[in-house]
Amino acid sequence: MRDYKFRGKRVDDGVWTYGFLFKSWEKAYILWGITNGIPNMVEVISQTVGQLSELSAIKNKNIYEGDILRVTNPNGETDNLCVVE
């Protein structure tokens, strides 16, 4: 089963935040838990939101939509950049 996790940069300080996506009108929020029945969430910049992809990376790093990857061919001669969609 696919894990639906998201990330986005916080509006207040630009730090990446990870969790579940909640959108209200034009605003986007990342939720990461509930404390005493109140959701822990923070507003994020909508253009920075990306969903966890099904791709796996070297060194066990997660790959999200919108990430820019450097891809090297098997013989190591050419580097290419690609954007995850």
Q: What is the structure's pLDDT at 59?
A: 66
**DSSP states of the chain:** -----EEEEBTTT--EEEEEEEEETTEEEEEEEEETTEEEEEEE-GGG-EEEEEEE-GGG-EEETT-EEEEE-TTS--EEEEE--
Prediction pTM value: 0.76
pLDDT at 3: 65
pLDDT digits 0-9 by tens, 20-70: 999 998 899 999 988 999 989 999 999 999 998 877 666 678 888 888 877
pLDDT of residue 45: 96
* pLDDT (0 to 100) of residue 80: 75
Residue 77 reports pLDDT greater than 80: no
